[in-house]
């Protein structure tokens, strides 16, 4: 992935709010940005995982801990997909 380095001036006391050591702040900011981009629907969970340097499973767990669903479909759309799969998997009547 082509990377861009960004420098931020940030109040030091925010570390207490984030409850992380200073050396981890870059990683945490990447996670927070990735989570927000996924929440806004701008990137996929796979891209968020890549951006955060995590496996997709770990990123999905992070999403869940932050109240972000990994499903973008409505319950109705999921029901339609399940119905379609069930019809495709039914044995043909002879």
CA dist 44 and 61 (Å) reads 14
As a whole number of angstroms, the distance between CA 37 and CA 44 comes to 8
How many separate helices (H) and strands (E) can be counted in the chain? 5, 0
Spatial CA neighbour of 26 closest among 8, 44, 1: 8
pLDDT attached to residue 77:
84
In the chain, where are the structural domains located? 14-89
2-55: pLDDT as tens digits = 888 988 888 888 778 888 888 888 899 999 999 999 999 999 999 999 999 999
d(CA 72, CA 40): 11
């Amino acid at each position: 992935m082509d990377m861009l380095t960004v420098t931020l001036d940030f109040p030091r006391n925010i570390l207490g709010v984030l409850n992380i050591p200073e050396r981890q702040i870059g990683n945490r900011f990447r996670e927070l940005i990735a989570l927000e981009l996924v929440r806004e629907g701008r990137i996929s969970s796979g891209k968020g995982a890549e951006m955060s340097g995590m496996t997709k499973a770990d990123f999905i767990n992070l999403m869940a801990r932050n109240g972000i669903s990994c499903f973008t479909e409505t319950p109705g759309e999921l029901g339609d997909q399940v119905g379609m799969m069930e019809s495709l998997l039914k044995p043909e009547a002879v």
